[in-house]
Structure 1
C-alpha cells in the first residue's frame, strides 16, 4: 500500500487489515521492557499506530485520546510506535499520560506485521487506528493517506462505544 509522508510517496510493508477480520496476535514492549501481547489485552480496545510520540502531530493525537478515553468506561487505548521504551516513558511522564498505554514495536516489529503499518523507507509505523472488540474482531480500521494528518477522533471513539 502506498501512502504519503509530507507529500512524498512511501510504502507500507505487509498486508493491511480490514473491518471484520480478526487481529493477529502480536508482541510489543512496555516502558519497563516487559512484553505485552494481544492476549494480555481485554475487552474493547483502541490501538493507535503512530510514527513517534515525540512529534507534534503524534503528541496531539495521544494527548487527545488520553483526555477523551476517560469518557469511555471499559475501553482500553494503546499507542504503538517504534520509539524506544525509555523515550516513551519520559514522554508519557512529561505529558502526564495515564489513560493511554504507550508501547513499542521496536524489538520484533510484530504489531506492524500484524497490521501492515511498517513504513519501509522510514523504519517507522504509519499513522493508523484500529478498534477491536472483545472477540478480537476489527470493528474500525483507518490508515491515513497522509501520515502527518490526524485520525478521525470522533469516529474512532464512536466505533469503540458501539463495539461494547
Structure 2
C-alpha cells in the first residue's frame, strides 16, 4: 500500500502504482457523453493518466487546467483525467472552465480502475476515492512513468511527467 497524506495526516491506498515497464491494465471508464472508453480506444498514442480524487477540489481542478494547457502542444498524446466524479460534474467543470484539450473519464460505475491501478484510498475522509497520481503509457501500452503524489493537496510534478513523454 502507498502511504500518503492529506494535509499531513496519514492515509493509505490499496496498493502501489503499476511498475514502470509493465503493461498498462485495460479499463472501462465512463466519458462525459456516457460512452464507455477502454485503453484500446487510445492505442498507438502516448497516454497521460491524470488521476485525482475530485474535480471539485482546488488542486484537482488546477491539475486539469494545467494539463489542458500543456496538452494542446503534445504530439500523438492524449491526457485522460480520471476521478470518481459523475460524468455530469466533469462535463459541467469542463464547460465552465473552457477545458477542451483533455478527456474526462469517470470510474463511478464500478471503481475497478481505482482497484486495478491501486490508487483507491482505503481510509480517512477521502476513503474510496482515488489518490493523486500520474501514470504515463507509451504507444505500445507500456508504463514509462509513474508518480504517486505524497500529499493529496499537492500538485503533481508536471515537468517530470512531460519529460517522460
> 1:54, 1:37 → 2: CA distance?
24
Match of 2:42 in 1: 41
Shift of 1:115: 1.0
**Structure 2 equivalent of residue 144 of structure 1:** 149
- Correspondence for 2:116 among 114, 117, 140: 114
Two-structure CA RMSD over aligned residues (Å): 1.0
Structure 2: runs of 5+ lacking an equivalent: none
Secondary structure class of the residue paired with 2:113: helix
Give structure 1 regions of 4+ aligned residues with deviation exceeding 4 angstroms: none
Unaligned 5+ segments in structure 1 are none
1:101 matches 2:106: no
Residue 82 (structure 1) aligned to one of 68, 74, 84: 84
Give the structure 1 partner of residue 128 of structure 2.
123
Once the two structures are superposed, residues 10-34 of structure 1 have per-residue CA deviations (whole angstroms, 9 ceiling, x without a partner) of 1211453111111111111011211
Question: C-alpha distance in 1, partners of 2:26/2:70?
Answer: 26
2:17 equivalent in structure 1: 16
Match of 1:58 in 2: 60
Q: What's the TM-score, normalizing by structure 1?
A: 0.94
Deviations 1:41-82 (A, max 9, x none): 121110010111111111111101100111111110000001
SS in 1 for 2:18: coil
Aligned length: 160
TM-score, scaled relative to structure 2: 0.93
Q: SS of the residue aligned with 2:152?
A: coil
CA deviations over 1:98-127 (Å, ceiling 9, x no partner): 100011001111211221110122221000
